[in-house]
Each structure stands twice: as C-alpha cells, then as structure tokens.
Chains A and B, each alone.
Chain A
Amino acid sequence: MSSKLIEVNGLTKVFRVGSLFSRVRLTAVDNVSFDIKDADIYTLAGESGSGKTTVSRIILGLLEASEGEILYKGKNIMNIKSEREKKEFRKDVQAIFQNPFETFNPLRTVENYLYETQKNFLGVDASDSIDGIEQALTAVGLTLDDVKEKYPSEFSGGQLQRISIARALITQPSLLIADEPVSMVDASLRMSIVNLFKELKDRYGLSVLYITHDLATAYYVSDKIAIMFRGNIVEKGSVEKVLDSPKHPYTKMLKESIAQPDPRDKWDSRVDLHLTEREEYMLKGCKFAGRCPHVMERCRTEEIPDFDIDGVTVKCLLYQ
C-alpha cells in the first residue's frame, strides 16, 4: 500500500466578482477533497469553469484558498511561512502549463530557465556542473545542444512542452502538476508528451496531477480521475471505473458528448444545452439539477453529500 503524497481536504475558493455595487460571491471551488499517492497519475477533469485550474493554482501557492487544507507528506502547506520551507515545497512540487508558447519569456533563451532552476534549488552553478540538466533533458528525449542559445520562437509547441517538463524535472520533484499540457500541442505530437508522463512515473516514481478537459487522454494515461463540475467533484475513483461505467448523470453526459475519432461511432442522440455558467454556479444543492434527466425535488434544495458505491465516490442522491 503506497502512502499518500498529497491530501486535499475541503478546499474552497470564493471569488468576488462584479462591480462595486453588485458584488456576487462565486464559489469557484467548493469543498473539494482528494488525495494522490506516490507514483500515481491523477486526473482532474472538467469543462472550462469547473474550477480545476483554480485547484492547481492553490496547490502551487499562486492563489490563496478561502478554506480547507492541503497536506503534503502529512504537513499542512497552507501554514508555511518561512522562505526556506516554501522553497523546499516548490522544489518538491513543480508544474508545467497549458500554453507552451507562453511558458518561456520570448525575449530570453530557454536554457536560462534550466540553469536558474538548477542554481536556485540545488545551489549548483551551470559552470560547475550541468549533469542534472542533461539528465532531465535526456528524460524528455532532448539534449542540451538542442536547446542551447535558442529562443522559444525557434521551437514547436511539442518541443517547448518537453523543455518545460525537463525544467520541472531538474529539481527531482515528487509531484508534477500539469495544467492542460497537451491542449495546445499538435495532435501528431500529443501522445509523445502523454507517454512521457507514464515513463516518468514508471522510471522515477513521479506522481502527476493531470488537469484536462480531454477525457480520452485522461483515460489513456491516468490511474485515478476526479470529474469536476461547477466547483464540485461530482465523481472520483479509478479511471476505468469512472469512465467505462460513469455513475453521475453529468459524467454520463460528458462522456457521451465526446466526439470519438471513429466514424463508426457517431453521435446518435441529441443534446440539450444549458444555462449560463454563472447561473449554474448560483444553484443551491446539485449544480447539475437544471439539466439532469433524473432530477428530484431534493436535488435543488439539499446539500448533496458524497456516496461510496463499488469503489467510486459519487455526489448524487441517486446512489444514496
């Protein structure tokens, strides 16, 4: 039984939006809990506005949570005050971002980021040793000569995403947070990035928090998945269980809506489209109640608890 690497408990983030006079509280992340084990690829999936990116930013310390705790190796990282501990955490938890063309400053050569990461976290100057950098680049299938003295505009999206991963690997992290890492990468290169996560997991025991809207790559690469909808995790469990036989009506609809790349598997039914995002956030009870085919009166009024059913956790009264 592997131990928990990171444990997120009751994470909540409230944004205040609108003008000075008509402030509205928007709960972008609502009481979210999940945990990632060592050498695990965990997917946080959902549509835009589901709160998945907000969760990742809070874990990385780029945003402050309104409520809840994040335990990393048993220690609550929300209470970290000292610079030294912050650095220690950042060394252990690294991230890559959605748009590879924006990941690096277009006016600086990319190698700079590799040298800086090594210097700032490991205290090793590039003039003394570049072994760590070369190792990290080798892990993603590149060499230092490939990136030397080059600017971001000289690479393709796939290459930049590899360099971005290499940079994150230099500190030898335990957890890599990948926010939509392939959505801007070309289809023909996409799988090479996704395969990289599997390799890194197998070879170095790296855990990955994979944040995506793409259920197909999530199914391919991950061990566990949590489906987010309007700030809630509506269903979580092993990826096969959740996606092969979805339980929550939202997960079912999401899976059916995917355009499968197979002409023999075209959509045969029709969809109804929904209220605007803001209205759904404002719903009490289940946020999916407005579109759910199985909606009951209680769904609209009650706080919906989580139910465990054959190894999957579902936020739906149908499974009470």
Chain B
Amino acid sequence: MSVLNTEGLKAYYIIDVLGEKRYVRAVDDVDLEIRENEIYGIAGESGCGKTTLIKTLFGMVEPPLNVMDGKVKYKMNAEYADIFAMDNKRMREIRWEYISYIPQGSMSVLNPVQKVRYSFEHFIKAHRRIRNKEEEFIKPVERHLQALGLPVQILDSYPHQLSGGMRQRVTVALATVLQPKIIIADEPTTALDVVMQRGVIQLLKDVQSSLKNTIIMVTHDMGIHANIADRIGIMYAGKMIEEASTEEIFGNPLHPYTQYLIGSLPKIGDKSYKTSAPGAPPSLINPPEGCRFYPRCDRATDECKAAIPKLVEIEPGHKAACFLYSGVKEDE
C-alpha cells in the first residue's frame, strides 16, 4: 500500500536574470510510490534535484521554485488527497502531524536564543490545544525523549550548548513528537562526524520501528543508504533512473550510472582499482536531449540520444530507465 504518490511531477526553478527567464529542471517527470512502513532512500549527487524533490513532496514550494505539472498525493483516511489542491490552512494542519521534515541544518528548526523546551512547546501548541501543561505537554515530551534514549535535561539547555550530533537528534525528536505517518529527512547526517552519523541513523531506525511509519531519506552517502534503507531510488539530472530494494541496488545495479556509482565506492579492506564515470553531470538548465546520462555512458546508442527512456519494471520490484533493458520511451 502506498502512502505517498507522485504522478509526472515537474518542479522547475524559474530564474529571472535581468529580464531573461531561465528554467532549471530540478525535478523532471518523476513518478513515485512510497509504501507504508518502509524507509525509502533517495540517492544522487549534488544538483541532481533530490532536495528539490523532497521539498516538493513536503509542499514547500516557494518562488523561484514552481510546480509546472503533476501531482503529489498523500494517503489520508484511506483516500488520496492532492496537496496542491489543498488550501494553506489545511496544509499547516497536516504538516508535522501527518508529515514532518528533518532539515539538513538543525539550527533552522531550533530557536537559537530559547531553550529547547520552548521549541517543543511552540511546536505542539501549534497543533494541539493544551489545557493541562503538565499532563498534556511535559510528560508526553519527556516520555518521547526517554523512548528515543535522549536525556531529558536537554530540554533546559540552549541549542548552542549541545553538540552538533545532539542537536540533530533533538531535531529528529522534535520532528517525530507528533507521531507523523511520514518523515522526510534531508541529508540528516551530512556535516556530522562518523560516530555522530551513526547515532542519528540509529535513532531514525528506532523511530521507524516503533512508529511503523514511513521515512523518506535523502543523502548522497551510499553507506548510510546501505545501512538504513529498504528501497532506494537513484536520481540523475532531475529524473529517477532506477528504483529497487537496497540489496538489488547494491548487488545487481542495472542502469550504467548506478553501476558506476556502486562500483566506485571504496571500502576498508579493499584496495582493488576503482574508477568513476567519465565526464560530469549535466546542467539542469539545458540537459542533453534523450537520456540524460548518454554523454557519459559507454554503452550509449543512437536511440539514447534521440529519446528519453522511461522508468519501467525490468525485474519484479526493480525499475530502471535505460534502453539496454526496455524500449519504452517517455512520451514527449
């Protein structure tokens, strides 16, 4: 059962440079089906549109970002609701309660001049009417922190008194305090040290297994994906090019880009020669026509230059967008 769907989602940045309009095709025709009770990883390199994709999934669409086409649907009360058809009030209500967001830098969520307690209070009051503070606010928050293995004392400290990893974990606690059905995490471990990264990932896993909800996790770090994700979608130049279970992505990558990506990952204890894909990712302002990867692909044919391959199921549960496996084109 899917909990979040997109259909032909296109989200472009429109940049006006002194009267000249430019379109940055950050998310270009993406279909997603994210299931209940899974951790879905979105992988890709910087500038491939993965952050834009999750911003759009969260409904955080502000100029210069514009949704050009397509739908994002949440499953609520057994029905699918298109979020772009909702008014702002409804959007505010479901945000954090139904779907929440863990941003890259924790400082944008925690108020730097107030104690952590204040952030929690502010957050909960926006969604719940609190009559009895002790019963309805303090105790549930403390229970929540204890369940996540965080010390309750952090409520009385200021964000700058906590280490970066602790702040990030507080952000996770804050994003999950209303027990959302979907959690979107944008590079939650970037800029943290490896030990801290592990702490944050451990926490996210704990949250997911206790709430049985869905986590959509974006990171460029394939090691993190290998450790936490159930399924992984690989993005390249604004398009989803492969999607499969974590074991399949690492063990049997189909798309040439994914093969390069997986093949180039260094591991401790392995000194064998590894190469990168040649060339560099294309600009999203004028991406190559046809398959976006063909200029860097050593198996490209004339067909790849002419048409865009569609993301289709090649093996059960394993989708790829490549003419090596299927001739299905995107209709444009």
Direct contact of A and B (CB under 8 A): yes
Chain A residues near B (Cβ < 8 Å):
47-48, 155-159, 186-192, 194-195, 213, 215-217, 219-220, 243-244, 253-255, 257-267, 270-271, 273-274, 276-277
8 A Cβ contacts from B133-165 to A: 162-163, 165
Interface residues on B, range: 35 or more
- Decide: A192 and B275 in contact? CB cutoff 8 A: yes
Q: How far is the CA of A277 from the CA of B193 in the complex (A)?
A: 12
The yes or no answer to B301 lying at the interface (CB within 8 A) is: no
Cβ contact of B226, chosen from A186, A188, A191, A262, cutoff 8 A: A262
- Decide: B195 and A261 in contact? CB cutoff 8 A: no
Nearest Cβ on chain A to B321's Cβ, whole angstroms: 17
- Decide: A213 and B194 in contact? CB cutoff 8 A: yes
The yes or no answer to B260 lying at the interface (CB within 8 A) is: yes
Chain B residues near A (Cβ < 8 Å):
45-46, 162-163, 165-166, 193-199, 201-202, 220-227, 246-247, 250-251, 257, 260-262, 264-271, 273-277, 280-281
User: Which chain A residues border B193 with CB–CB below 8 Å?
Assistant: 47-48, 213
User: Which chain B residues border A155 with CB–CB below 8 Å?
Assistant: 280
User: Which chain A residues border B275 with CB–CB below 8 Å?
Assistant: 191-192, 195
Q: How far is the CA of A99 from the CA of B273 in the complex (A)?
A: 25
User: Which chain B residues border A219 with CB–CB below 8 Å?
Assistant: 266-271
User: Which chain A residues border B195 with CB–CB below 8 Å?
Assistant: 47, 253-254, 257, 271, 273-274
- Decide: B281 and A156 in contact? CB cutoff 8 A: yes
- Decide: B224 and A259 in contact? CB cutoff 8 A: yes
Q: How far is the CA of A253 from the CA of B194 in the complex (A)?
A: 10
User: What 19 additional pairs, Cβ within 8 angstroms, besides A195-B276, A219-B266?
Assistant: A47-B193, A48-B193, A156-B280, A158-B280, A186-B46, A186-B281, A187-B222, A188-B257, A220-B274, A257-B198, A259-B194, A260-B268, A261-B222, A261-B223, A261-B250, A262-B226, A267-B201, A267-B227, A273-B165
User: Which chain B residues border A260 with CB–CB below 8 Å?
Assistant: 223, 226-227, 267-268
User: Which chain A residues border B198 with CB–CB below 8 Å?
Assistant: 257, 259, 267, 271
User: Which chain B residues border A195 with CB–CB below 8 Å?
Assistant: 273-276
- Decide: B267 and A189 in contact? CB cutoff 8 A: no
A215-B226 contact given A261-B250, A273-B165, A277-B163, CB 8 Å threshold? no
Q: How far is the CA of A309 from the CA of B246 in the complex (A)?
A: 41
A263-B197 contact given A159-B280, A215-B268, A220-B274, CB 8 Å threshold? no
- Decide: A187 and B280 in contact? CB cutoff 8 A: no
A189-B277 contact given A260-B226, A271-B195, A273-B165, CB 8 Å threshold? yes
Cβ contact of B264, chosen from A156, A191, A215, A267, cutoff 8 A: A191
**A253's closest neighbor in chain B, by CB?**
B195
A190-B276 contact given A262-B250, A274-B195, CB 8 Å threshold? yes
Max chain B C-beta neighbours (<10 A), residue from A48, A215, A253, A262? A262
Q: How far is the CA of A156 from the CA of B196 in the complex (A)?
A: 29
Pull 9 A–B residue pairs with CB atoms less than 8 Å apart, ordered by A. Answer: A156-B281, A189-B280, A192-B276, A195-B273, A219-B269, A261-B265, A262-B226, A267-B227, A271-B202
